Amino acid sequence: QSVLTQPPSVSGAPGQRVTISCTGSSSNIGAGSDVHWYQQLPGTAPKLLIYGNYNRPSGVPDRFSGSKSGTSASLAITGLQADDEAYYYCQSSDSSLSVWVFGGGTKLTVL
C-alpha cells in the first residue's frame, strides 16, 4: 500500500487530454511538501517530468503540466501521443520524518 494514492490506470485517444491524480495526507502534501512527477517507459529508469508541483525540466514538452491543491496533486497531459504510453509516478516527502514517498503508479494507455 503506497503512501500516495494514484489511480492504477487511465486511458485516452491520441490528441485527447488526460489527468492523473495523486492524493496524500496532512503529513506530506498537506504539510507543504511539493509533488513531483516521473515518467517510466518499459525497461527504463524513471525520468523527471514535473518538479515543484508545476515546473518542467528543460526538454519536457509543455503538453505536460502539474498542479497541487490541499492534500492532492494532478498531472495533466494534453495532445496525447502514442509515445506517452508509460507509467507515471508522483513523489513527495514527509519532512518531519525525513522520508520520501511515492504513489503506486498509473499506467497510461493511448488507445
Residues in contact with other proteins by CB under 8 A are 2, 31-34, 36, 38, 40, 45-48, 51-53, 55, 57, 87, 89, 91, 93, 95, 98-105
Q: How many CB atoms lie within 10 A of CB 88?
A: 25
- Smaller CB distance to other proteins: residue 77 or 103? 103
**21, 66 Cβ separation under 8 angstroms:** no
Q: What is the DSSP letter of 43?
A: T
- Indicate the DSSP class of residue 79: S
H or E stretch covering 12: strand 9-12
Q: Which of 13, 45, 15, 17 is nearest to 109 (CA)?
A: 13
Q: How far is the CB of 93 from other proteins (least distance, A)?
A: 5
Q: Please, what is the minimum distance in Å from the beta carbon of residue 39 to other proteins?
A: 12
CB of 14 vs other proteins, minimal distance in Å: 26
AA identity, residue 81: Q
Q: How far is the CB of 101 from other proteins (least distance, A)?
A: 6
